[in-house]
Structure 1
Amino acid sequence: MSETKFIHIPLLPLRGLIVFPGMVIHLDVGRKKSIQALEKAMMNDQHIFLAAQKESEIEEPKAADIHAVGTVAKVNQMLKLPNGTMRVLVEGMYRAEIQEFINEDTQFFVEIMELEEEHNKKAEEVALMRALLEQFEYYTKISKKISKETLDSVKDIDEPTRFADLIASHIRLKMSDKQEILETLHVSERFRKLLEIVSNEKEVVELERKIGQRVKKSMEETQKEYYLREQMKAIQTELGDKDGKSGEIADLKKKIEEKNLPERIMELLAKELSRYERIPQSSAESSIIRNYIDWVLSLPWTEETEDNLNINHAENVLNEDHYGLEKVKERVLEYLAVQQLTNSLKGPILCLVGPPGVGKTSLARSIAKSIDRQFVRISLGGVRDEAEIRGHRRTYVGAMPGRIIQGMKKAETINPVFLLDEIDKMSNDFRGDPSAAMLEVLDPEQNHTFSDHYLEETYDLSKVMFVATANNLATIPRPLLDRMEIISIAGYTEMEKLHIAKNHLLPKQLKENGLKKGQLQLRDDALLKLIRLYTREAGVRGLERQLASMCRKAAKIIVSGVKQRVVVTEKQIEALLGKPRFRYGMMEEEDQVGAATGLAYTSAGGDILSIEVSIAKGKGKLTLTGKLGDVMKESAQAAFSYIRSRADKLNIDANFHEKYDIHIHVPEGATPKDGPSAGITMATALISALSGRAVRRDVGMTGEITLRGRVLPIGGLKEKTLSAHRAGITTIIMPADNKKDLDDIPESVKEGLTFIPVDHLDTVLEYALMEENNESK
């Protein structure tokens, strides 16, 4: 071994590169310290020490950032480039190790020690060299990145050290592996490491080659598919599709990619689009598939509006749009409060029940407005086909989705307020029962997977807030009714109508008829007269029509130049609208014998029902007229039987059923009437006629009667009370079991009424019939 040498030499740090002894390479040098180190080397013996940086990203390396072991190289050539960098040609000479950094401020200058190679037995090195050459040859053959000239030059080298370093310089290695090879001084050990690395690289290159072959095969298949598609386009053009479908298919693919769709819907559309692409444009199935793709793309799958959960805002909106209706408003505010706390509430299903004109539809629109949701309305009146709800299957000509999916398309969001108008007007025939299909729509446990026949994919309706409207609950199937929360809107009192007319209806009609606020003034007394004598309804639709008529007449007066301003008082109403159409108050003007006033519940709200009984000598024949239903006829029979059983106590001739013919009549015979609540009214009118005692004219009554005289509860007490209030009745006789319903009646109505709860007909007679001397009890 030669004597150890310590040399002072300039240092050139290398980034991402290691130079081995015997290796000739060009380097571009740009850093200031590195250029100064090169200049220093050229001034001396042209020798420079090349060592790699540990991290190539470091721009200004320190001593700790540079590997200690490197290569002493000779600078054979140096050229200054126009951009200021230096291009040098260096040749590696021998390994060395840094002992000390002498200067690293202006230039790198180090003291190094030459490292001696360690050799083993000559035979072992030769064997290892041959094994490495064999591996290198195979690696060269499969990688095709090393030229034949390079392989030939490697074969010509006999010196083991130079042979190992040259192979290490030509193989693609990690920086850490190259540095490890450089630092390995024992030649045999260096050969073993290179054998292991070359073997691993050979396997990697082999795998890369296989992957490349696979990719090539895949590309060939893609090219084949492209060729076949081009052929198909040519065929389509010959069949009549001149432009082919390429542009259309591309647009559809773009739409599918841009729309945020669930994965299952993306897969469905990809499948349908593939079918559409294969089928000629002239085929009938082509238009069916295209329509289906358009429908699926037009539906909201993930689009959702953000709810405005501000309860105060919602309350203000509801109060501005509607007067009264406290129960409905309270329910909407409860929904918002719970959603604000849970943030994961399923949409409620409300059913607003009441007569026409009470504001059910407009209330649903206000609910949507109050929570900033989209509003969609579909009318179910007259729907008798299940396909109207669930859609038609795609095999039918002209198939399309049902009304629910059509409504969701209009909404463009998955959480609208969805109004199902006139849900009680659905019917059924041989094509199916649409109310049965509505069960899935309105069931919170099922509607997150609503199935439409046309879509053939489940659709989530769980975030929709459904609001249904109905005039009569009796015609809604019980299972469907069970899925809805019923909110009754009975009708408005006179004072509520007055407020609604002044603040909502009249301003609306003034605007629609081109009048300014000051051009038509309607006094409160005139408005009250209009409500009492020109309308007879639970809602305000007829009232709005009368106000519209008045606005038109005022517009005519103003345009003709007669007046510039019309003021309507109570006396001027008749001049504008003609004679009154109804009487104010429908109760009898005098106490009558054989006539009693009952309270009825109709689709138009509450109404009063006058029941008349006349007696003539005969053989006990009972005649019922007035277009009565079976239930009312049975009530009359029950009352008749009760009177016969209690004739003595009621001071009635026990043989009246053999001596007299009895005729019970309910006026307005053209209007069908039915229901059990007229039972006590019929009994009272019968007893009055048979006993000669008059019935109090200011008493209205409602209740079902049994053969024992018991009074059973009825429905619609609020509506019946409002009708009694409108008719001027002051006393209402009602079943005792209906006392709980008094809370639903407005206080302004209850103030002018006396309610008498009864559980037996005897109590009814005490309050309804006058005494023999005509003094009321």
Structure 2
Amino acid sequence: MSESVSISVPAVLPLFPLREIVAFPYMIFPLFLKDDELTAFEDMLGHEQMVVLARTREEAVPGQTPQLCEIGTLCKVNQIYRLPEGGGKVVLEGVVRVRILDVADTLPHIQVRCEVVHEFFEKSVVSEALVQSLNALLKIALSYGRPLPDDVMKMIDLIDNPARLADLVALYVNLPLDEQQRLLETVDPLERLKKVYMHLTAEVQRLQVKGEVQAEVTRRVGKSQKEYLLREQMKQIQEELGEEDPRGTEMTELRSRIQNAGMPDEVRKIADKELKRLDRINPSSPEYTVARTYLDYLAGMPWGRSTADNHDINQAEAVLDEDHYDLKKVKERILEYLAVRTLRERMKGPILCFVGPPGVGKTSLGKSIARALGRKFIRMSLGGMRDEAEIRGHRRTYIGALPGRIIQEIFRCGSNNPVFMLDEVDKIGLDFRGDPASALLEVLDPEQNSTFTDHYLDVPFDLSNVMFITTANLLDPVPAALKDRMEVIRLSGYTDEEKEKIAVRYLIPKEVEENGLSATPPAFASAAIYKIIGDYTREAGVRNLQRSIASVCRKVAKEITQGKPLRETITPEVVEEFLGPRTFFNEVAAEQDRVGVVTGLAWTETGGDILFVEATRMKGKRDLILTGSLGDVMKESARTALSYVRATCADWGIDEGAFEDSDLHIHVPAGAIPKDGPSAGLTMVTAIVSLLSGRPARRDVAMTGEISLTGRALAIGGLKEKVLAARRAGVKTVVAPSRNRENLEDIPDDVKNELTFIFVDDVHEAVAAALQ
């Protein structure tokens, strides 16, 4: 069914132009006019009391007809009355939309010819859904506090005409005048209803957001007001009870700590400034915790606190001897430091670097040094560290920021001159978070660390009194700049006799106590200790020796708890019973002299070791095959050895045709272990000469040395470790370059007495000593 609005209007109607309002049908609204405007308005009305209200497109110019919008509203004048203070009020009611056809006259007032805009609407599912949705949105808007008279809401509930409902709701939604005019000019009621629905939806969403924001603001303000009131009440209660304000007490205590911390003047100024800032911050604010933690670190740092050094050198030497066996160079360096400190009170702490294989006592030596000096001890492991902030700390702008480990550990120990051990300096990592090794440059430089600045503290702290000790298994991975800042002290492996003494003095008493055998301690026979050293451990240090002794003690403890007879003495037979079959064998003593197989000596990060270089020949195309996980340097040594032998084959009695139609294969067993370095050059030359000349190599002769292309024997490193490895393996004669003769001073006398040393200048001397 379709309906139309029908009304008869005069041919010419008076028009009153509007600028600040848009009149809609069914709209009852007041119009306030001045005296002259009210007089003109009354003159223009006819007996029908009808007037057309239309909005002008621009400001009216006196004497000119204003530009009118095409669609206006025919209104009925319900009431006109003058106000006592001047002017008047006209109450109008919108009747129907009209289209202005033309202006009939402009004097004495504007009269226009217009026609009624007929609105056709048809009830449908869409119109009913829109009407229901508009009603629901209006109720939602009312729930958010949007005012609307009750009679209007009842009227809206009763209206089912989309045209009339759209006009009524358009009045409720605060739209700009231009948008209201566009709605007035929308003739199709259903289309107008859709536009009103979209505007009302936006209005409801705005009200929802506004309501949520207001609720959150109210909640926060209410919480702050509640905290303020409670805090004021608490102050009043404390005053009545004669108690002090906790925050005031806290600030007083913090101020006292800062005054007594002995800070430098520059740091004290910063601390006072932060303290004033802290006093103004609300304790519930996250910024309060950040500022308080920062002041705690500043006040707790040992700016002027240090421990007194032990100047009794004899007592310090006794402490070092009590904790560690041998290590003469290290102990001598510590006693030198003490002697200088005794003569000169103010001196910079040394930066020592202990380099050696695992298990020789590098880390435990730091504790002994701290005990000998009477200082506090700090140990910090650098192994696997990849973040520069671990050393220098984080900026305070980051959430959860903390000082670096250097400052944290010194803060905890409460002294500015501890013994600070940086363990595993050769195992520092590097990634996108920075280079910790580079951050250590300032820490470990005696010329710079007096003004070390942590990112968190952001003030300089003097580290020159700290005695830094670093440890490493290898120096090669350590950056050159960092290595240059440290005094390197090498710790070699122990001889069997030294290990036996260490076991008797330190390891056995410690394991007996830790395994609950103090009441009935078993006695370890010397032969039993040597059996553990020779058959069950083969290392430069004593770590595996300690584990084996611990295993024996645990088995003794197990037998005691089972009620078995007590073993008062641990003999070699008991060791074999407890530890099982031997793990290591004497490779050299168990083998026969063979052609093309020569014993060599190698140095690794775990100490010295022996290796065998094997050479064989087969038909081929004069290729050189190298196997055994050899590194580039070791491969070059093999090529150099082959080139030298081919160039001097007449000297060895080798036929020049031996290299024709043949491949030479050099292999170093234990192929799963990577090997590298130039010190196997002499061994490779000897193996090739032995193979091609048919002369067997003496298995009890081990050699080490780099060769040149002209046959000279060049110096090598790690002679002591290699000699100890040769002795463990049962070697009787060691061949080494003459330039290493001076290194014999580092080798214990008992080892030198058991071995024969042959120092050579060229390859010929080495081959003569090794081949039969």
The residue type paired with residue 479 of structure 1 is A
8 Å contact kept, 2:588–2:699 = no
SS of aligned partner of 1:351: strand
2:727 paired residue among 703, 725, 728: 725
1:505 paired residue among 504, 507, 526: 507
Which residue of structure 1 aligns with residue 770 of structure 2? 768
Structure 2: distance between partners of 1:587 and 1:436: 49
Structure 1: distance between partners of 2:540 and 2:492: 7
- The yes-or-no answer on 1:479 pairing with 2:469 is no
The residue type paired with residue 365 of structure 2 is L
Which residue of structure 2 aligns with residue 307 of structure 1? 309
- Aligned sequence identity (%): 54
Which residue of structure 1 aligns with residue 56 of structure 2? none
SS of aligned partner of 1:487: strand
The residue type paired with residue 538 of structure 1 is A
8 Å contact kept, 2:387–2:433 = yes
Match runs of 1:242-281 below 5 Å = 245-281=247-283
8 Å contact kept, 1:599–1:701 = yes
8 Å contact kept, 1:440–1:450 = yes
Which residue of structure 1 aligns with residue 387 of structure 2? 385
How far apart are 1:547 and its partner, in Å?
A: 0.5
Which residue of structure 1 aligns with residue 343 of structure 2? 341
Judged with a 3 Å threshold, the aligned counterparts in structure 2 of structure 1 residues 627 and 241 are, in CA distance, closer, same or farther, namely farther
- The yes-or-no answer on 1:447 pairing with 2:440 is no
8 Å contact kept, 1:590–1:697 = yes
Structure 2: distance between partners of 1:374 and 1:236: 49
Match runs of 1:560-709 below 5 Å = 560-584=562-586, 586=588, 589-709=591-711
The residue type paired with residue 377 of structure 1 is R
Please list the CA deviations of residues 385-441 of structure 1 after superposition, one character each: whole Å capped at 9, or x if unmatched: 221111111111221111111221232111111101001111212222111111111
8 Å contact kept, 1:321–1:366 = yes
- The yes-or-no answer on 1:490 pairing with 2:499 is no
Which residue of structure 2 aligns with residue 751 of structure 1? 753
SS of aligned partner of 1:536: coil
8 Å contact kept, 1:597–1:611 = yes
Match runs of 1:360-509 below 5 Å = 360-509=362-511
Structure 2: distance between partners of 1:614 and 1:584: 24
Structure 2: distance between partners of 1:318 and 1:609: 36
Structure 1: distance between partners of 2:226 and 2:419: 46
- The yes-or-no answer on 1:238 pairing with 2:228 is yes
8 Å contact kept, 2:352–2:486 = yes
Please list the CA deviations of residues 436-485 of structure 1 after superposition, one character each: whole Å capped at 9, or x if unmatched: 11111111111111111111011101111111110001111111111111
SS of aligned partner of 1:443: coil
- The yes-or-no answer on 1:291 pairing with 2:281 is no
Which residue of structure 2 aligns with residue 555 of structure 1? 557
8 Å contact kept, 1:518–1:565 = no
SS of aligned partner of 2:615: strand
Judged with a 3 Å threshold, the aligned counterparts in structure 2 of structure 1 residues 251 and 639 are, in CA distance, closer, same or farther, namely same
How far apart are 1:585 and its partner, in Å?
A: 5.1
Please list the CA deviations of residues 284-332 of structure 1 after superposition, one character each: whole Å capped at 9, or x if unmatched: 3222211111122222111011100111101100111111111111111
8 Å contact kept, 2:474–2:605 = yes
Please list the CA deviations of residues 31-64 of structure 1 after superposition, one character each: whole Å capped at 9, or x if unmatched: xxxxxxxxxxxxxxxxxxxxxxxxxxxxxxxxxx
Which runs of 5 or more residues in structure 1 are unaligned? 1-233, 771-777
8 Å contact kept, 1:704–1:712 = yes
Deviates more, 1:498-507 or 1:400-409: 400-409
8 Å contact kept, 2:317–2:372 = yes
Judged with a 3 Å threshold, the aligned counterparts in structure 2 of structure 1 residues 663 and 556 are, in CA distance, closer, same or farther, namely same
Judged with a 3 Å threshold, the aligned counterparts in structure 2 of structure 1 residues 296 and 381 are, in CA distance, closer, same or farther, namely same
SS of aligned partner of 1:474: coil
Which runs of 5 or more residues in structure 2 are unaligned? 1-223, 235-245
How far apart are 1:236 and its partner, in Å?
A: 9.8
TM-score, L = length of structure 2: 0.68
SS of aligned partner of 1:655: helix
CA RMSD in angstroms, aligned pairs only = 1.8
8 Å contact kept, 1:600–1:677 = yes
Equivalenced residue count is 538
Structure 1: distance between partners of 2:647 and 2:499: 47
The residue type paired with residue 643 of structure 1 is V
SS of aligned partner of 1:304: coil
Which residue of structure 1 aligns with residue 83 of structure 2? none
The residue type paired with residue 679 of structure 2 is S
Structure 1: distance between partners of 2:659 and 2:417: 66
Structure 1: distance between partners of 2:226 and 2:301: 30
SS of aligned partner of 1:357: coil
2:535 paired residue among 530, 533, 536: 533
Judged with a 3 Å threshold, the aligned counterparts in structure 2 of structure 1 residues 236 and 478 are, in CA distance, closer, same or farther, namely farther
The residue type paired with residue 325 of structure 2 is Y
SS of aligned partner of 1:418: strand
Judged with a 3 Å threshold, the aligned counterparts in structure 2 of structure 1 residues 654 and 241 are, in CA distance, closer, same or farther, namely farther
Judged with a 3 Å threshold, the aligned counterparts in structure 2 of structure 1 residues 487 and 267 are, in CA distance, closer, same or farther, namely same
Match runs of 1:106-121 below 5 Å = none
How far apart are 1:280 and its partner, in Å?
A: 2.1
- Runs (4+) of structure 1 exceeding 3 A deviation are 234-237, 239-245, 584-588
Match runs of 1:110-189 below 5 Å = none
SS of aligned partner of 1:407: helix
How far apart are 1:566 and its partner, in Å?
A: 3.4
SS of aligned partner of 1:330: helix
How far apart are 1:687 and its partner, in Å?
A: 1.2
Structure 1: distance between partners of 2:229 and 2:618: 91
Structure 2: distance between partners of 1:239 and 1:606: 76
Structure 1: distance between partners of 2:269 and 2:230: 30
Judged with a 3 Å threshold, the aligned counterparts in structure 2 of structure 1 residues 237 and 738 are, in CA distance, closer, same or farther, namely same
Please list the CA deviations of residues 98-124 of structure 1 after superposition, one character each: whole Å capped at 9, or x if unmatched: xxxxxxxxxxxxxxxxxxxxxxxxxxx
Match runs of 1:52-131 below 5 Å = none
Judged with a 3 Å threshold, the aligned counterparts in structure 2 of structure 1 residues 315 and 285 are, in CA distance, closer, same or farther, namely same
Structure 2: distance between partners of 1:308 and 1:251: 34
The residue type paired with residue 330 of structure 2 is V
SS of aligned partner of 2:725: helix
How far apart are 1:706 and its partner, in Å?
A: 1.5
- The yes-or-no answer on 1:330 pairing with 2:320 is no
8 Å contact kept, 1:358–1:540 = yes
The residue type paired with residue 682 of structure 1 is M
